[in-house]
Structure formats: structure tokens, C-alpha cells
Structure 1
Amino acid sequence: MILVAGGTGRLGSQVVRLLANAGIPVRLMARGRSAPFPAGVDGVGVDDGVKRVRGDLTSRPDCEGAVAGCAAVVFTASGFGLRRAGNPRSVDRDGAIWLMEAAARAGVGHFVLLSMHGAAADAPLVFLRMKHAAEEALMSSGMEWTVIRIGPLLEQFAEVVGEPLAATGKARVFGSGQAPITFTGTSDAAALVVESLTNPALRNRTVEWGSVSATLDHLAQALIHLHGSGTIQHIPTVGLHLMAVAAAPLSPFMSRMARAALWMENGAAAFDPAPARVEFPAIPVIGLAQILAAG
């Protein structure tokens, strides 16, 4: 049995689907306020071989119940994209550590942590510092471990950039739009997660996993092409500084996005994905247009 924490999220749901399609027993753990489970067998899910459980990552009994009988745990939950009921401190650090501790006590053999490129103790973003704290805890947990550091999720940024297109005809770009960014597609990240569960070459190591390098302007242009028309509206860095502060009380997510955009503006989100892609060639490289079209 594989536990996927955050299994109803953008990335976690892809991992669950791949595991279920491969006939691997999978248990999905989601927070109580997540999207409702589909109605079906046992009143909690559809008849797809997936066991669905509600759980609070800050609850010791919930974590212990979730990991019971599992051979491996995959942590895809994140507080970055939450608009309420959670944040990077409570989810990416504290929630991850609570689940790790429960997994170690239960004798789980392998824990896979989805982290982020740039994670470091002195990183300028709270999100990255919390990811680093979780990485450090995992490496000292006594379990076999895999840390997969991804780039900014392409689909998440495509949603933010492209959301205004239908209403205003303008794609929203934070900053100059010229900084190089190594994005990771959700299906691409999910494929490496599944690979890590069976490939010994991915045990007890950190892998940086990217899908495509592009600027936010390139992303906006691709979205405009798919939409059929539109122009780009840039939010200058001075506006991002204001948004980071002003949006925090009402929309913590947009505040985090503004801070992330300021971090990316100097090229900090760019890295070379080639070494890992060469090492794991069975996972095909998918281009920007393909990822957006599939989304």
C-alpha cells in the first residue's frame, strides 16, 4: 500500500491516477476542507481501487491512521497554493514532519518528499525555507528517502497568467516577464514520483526535476495563442512589492505569488534539468505547448 498525502491536489491526483492504473494499492489522504470525494462504493469513493481517507496533518492520530500498513509514503501536499486553511509553515514543514514521524514509528520503508528548487535554510521565501526544513527532517528520519525538487508548477502559473484572458483579453505577467524559469509539469513530476517508488537509483538522494525552460512572457504568448487572441499586461516589480504586503490579509496565495515572482525576477528559478533527464530517459520530455494543451 502506498499513501499519497495531498492526493486530491494538482500533483497528488496525478500520482494517485498513475499508481491506480498500474494496479498498485494506493491510499489517498486529503485534508477535511479539500474537494469532496466522489460518491460511490462505501460512500467515500468510486470503485477504482483507491482508498480515500480524510486527515489533518497536524493530528497525530490522523497521521498514524493514514500510514498504517503502508510500505511507502508520498508527500505531495503543499500550503503554497492554499487560499485558506493552511500555509507553508503548517503544511510544507509541520505537516510533512508529523507524517514522517508517524511513518517512521509505523515502520514505513520509504518516504518520497516533493520539494522545490531553491529550498535552503537561508532562502528568501518562507515556502523554500519550510521545504528545506522538511528535507532535513526526512534525511534524519531513519527511513529510506527520496527528495524530488521541482521547478514552479507550470499549470499553476499558467492558471494565474491566463486567468484574466477570457474576461479582459490580457494575460497577467508578474514582473518583466524576461527572467528564465525552469518549469515542471505536473504529469512529468508525477511520473518521476512513481519511478522513485521502484527504482533503487532514486533512493537516499535529491533530484532536481524540470520539464521546460521558458520566461513568463513565453508562457503568456503560448496561452494567448491557445486562446486565439490577447495581449500581455505586466505588473511591474514595484507593484509586486505592494501586492506582497497588501494582499497578505485578504489573499495569502496572491501575496505568496507576488513574493515568488520577485524571487524569480533575478533568474533564481532557472536550473539545468538535463542531468536528471539523461539519467532517467524512460520519462519523456514534453514541450511547453504539449503540456498546456493537455491541461
Structure 2
Amino acid sequence: MKIAVIGGTGLIGSQVVKLLQAAGHEAVPHSPSTGVDLLSGQGLTEAVQGAQVVVNLTNSPTFDEASAGFFRTSMDNLLAAAQRAGVGHAVILSIVGVDQVPDLAYYRAKVLQEDVLRAGPLPYSIVRATQFFEFMDAVLSWTADENTVRLPRTPVQPMAAADVARAVADVSAGSPLRGIRDVAGPDVFPLDELGRITLAARGDQRTVTTDDSAGMFAAVPGDVLIAKDGAVIAPTTYREWLGRQAR
């Protein structure tokens, strides 16, 4: 099966391509570096030509209000091109609990992306994943100085990017879900505790201070980022992943 992976050179996309190719599919990565631009539509017709499935793993360059325009335009262009090419399945990657965090502009934009896909002309699948282990450095940097990192107690259930890629590849190679599949890591942590675990594993002497007003995740209510019953639970634990990074 020919599968066009838009955003196929990024953290998740490159792994999805390798997994699909290893399974015998003709998975082709596309990105601005290969001449495909979802916002302008450049290269898009050629990218989806002959594909049975299109996977959109592109992301907005910003997390602010402008992200909504990115997701609307990119999805409109992709779905139009895919429909013209006779593609039979469109897949996107979203976020567990994304529709329950209205105070975050980026999360509202991801909900918009989902809505555009649902209302579009193609059978579809939405994979919602929890936060990636690989993003923890960015989370720490948002509210850090040379001595302290401030983090809220927001519950999170993070997972390895490799496990996210496996979930996306599995869905992409199957029949359209016409709905959502949630995937999550095996353990739940308060975000401040996760920060302490991360710094300790790296020998970082900074102190994590609990501050429920600090950073983007302070806007997340309750445990909405935790997977509910029926989610696929990935195998890799955070401590296992940290151990691998230290080798």
C-alpha cells in the first residue's frame, strides 16, 4: 500500500515511515525539505498521487492564536488534494484531552484540525497521544532559571515518541477508524514530580518548585490529559527511556 506521510522527516514522521516500510508498505516522506508545503499547496498534488492513505504529521510553527490558521489552511489544502487523487484514508495525530482545554490557543487549534478532518470528504482516523517524553526538556525550559524550575502539579501520562509512531503506523496501515484512538504511556505523574525525576536522572542540581500558575500546563484543568478507559497503553516507561538516554 502506498502511504504519503506529510511531515515525514520529523520526530514522529521519520519513525512512522521506517515502521511502515519495514512492514512492506510504500511509505513516502514529504516535507518542505522535499518540496511539499501544505500552506501554499506547493508539491501537494504530486505527493498524494497514487496514495491509498495520507498521514498528516505536520505541526504549527507557533503555539499561539496563529496556530488555528495553520491547521485550517493545511488541512483544507491536504483534503482537497487527497480527494482529487482518490485517497481513501486520512490520518492525523492529535492530543489526549485536547477538547477539554479551551484556555490554550494551541489546543483549540488542534480541535479545529480534528473538526476539519471529520467534516471533510475522506474516511479518517484520529490518533490522540499523550505528551512525549522527548518534550520534557522544552517544558522544563519554559519556567526555568539557573537555580530553579517552576512546574504545576498537572497530572500527565507521557509516552515515548517511538510508541507514538508505532500507534500512528498501526492505524495508518489499517481501515479508517472514523473516530479516535487514544494512546498513552504506562504511568501517571504530577508534572512537578516528573521534573524532579528528570533532573535527578541527569545530575542536574536545579530545584523544582511546585507552582500551579507556571507554564502552559497550568491552564489544564484536573486530569483531562490522562487517558480514559479504552486507551491503548504503550509499553515504555519514563525511567526506562531516561536510562536509555544516559547511555
Q: TM-score, normalised by structure 1?
A: 0.71
1:59 correspondence with 2:40: yes
- The answer on whether the counterparts of 1:122 and 1:129 sit within 8 Å (CA) in structure 2 is yes
- 1:172 corresponds, among 146, 149, 152, to 149
1:70 correspondence with 2:18: no
- The answer on whether the counterparts of 2:3 and 2:55 sit within 8 Å (CA) in structure 1 is yes
Partner of 1:161: 140
Identity of aligned residues (%): 23
1:263 correspondence with 2:219: yes
- 1:151 corresponds, among 127, 130, 141, to 130
Alignment of structure 1 residues 92-103 onto 2, 5 Å: 92-103=71-82
- Unaligned ranges ≥5, structure 2: none
Alpha-carbon distance in 1 for matches of 2:50, 2:7 = 18
**Larger RCO (CA within 8 A; separation ≥ 6):** 2
Letter in 2 for 1:111: A
TM-superposed CA distance for 1:162, in Å, is 7.0
TM-superposed CA distance for 1:180, in Å, is 0.9
Letter in 1 for 2:149: R
Partner of 1:6: 7
Encode CA deviations 1:6-64: one digit per residue, 9 max, x unaligned.
122222122122123333212111125xxxxxxxxxxxxxxxxxxxx221111234221
TM-superposed CA distance for 1:119, in Å, is 3.0
Alpha-carbon distance in 2 for matches of 1:24, 1:187 = 18
SS of the equivalent of 1:267 reads coil
TM-superposed CA distance for 1:223, in Å, is 1.6
Letter in 1 for 2:169: V
Encode CA deviations 1:175-218: one digit per residue, 9 max, x unaligned.
x3x22112232111111111112334x62121221113212222
Partner of 1:26: 27
Alignment of structure 1 residues 201-280 onto 2, 5 Å: 203-211=177-185, 212-234=187-209, 236=211, 240=214, 258=215, 260-264=216-220, 266-277=221-232
Distance change (3 Å), C-alpha of 1:83 and 1:197: closer
Partner of 1:246: none
Distance change (3 Å), C-alpha of 1:98 and 1:235: farther
| Structure 1 outlier segments of 4+, above 6 Å | 162-165
- The answer on whether the counterparts of 1:11 and 1:189 sit within 8 Å (CA) in structure 2 is yes
Partner of 1:134: 113
- The answer on whether the counterparts of 2:96 and 2:227 sit within 8 Å (CA) in structure 1 is no
SS of the equivalent of 1:60 reads coil
- The answer on whether the counterparts of 1:151 and 1:209 sit within 8 Å (CA) in structure 2 is yes
Letter in 1 for 2:82: A
- Unaligned ranges ≥5, structure 1: 33-52, 241-257, 279-283
- 2:159 corresponds, among 158, 161, 184, to 184
Letter in 1 for 2:207: I
Report the number of matched residues: 242
Q: TM-score, normalised by structure 2?
A: 0.83
Partner of 1:44: none
- The answer on whether the counterparts of 2:5 and 2:30 sit within 8 Å (CA) in structure 1 is yes
Q: CA RMSD in A?
A: 3.0
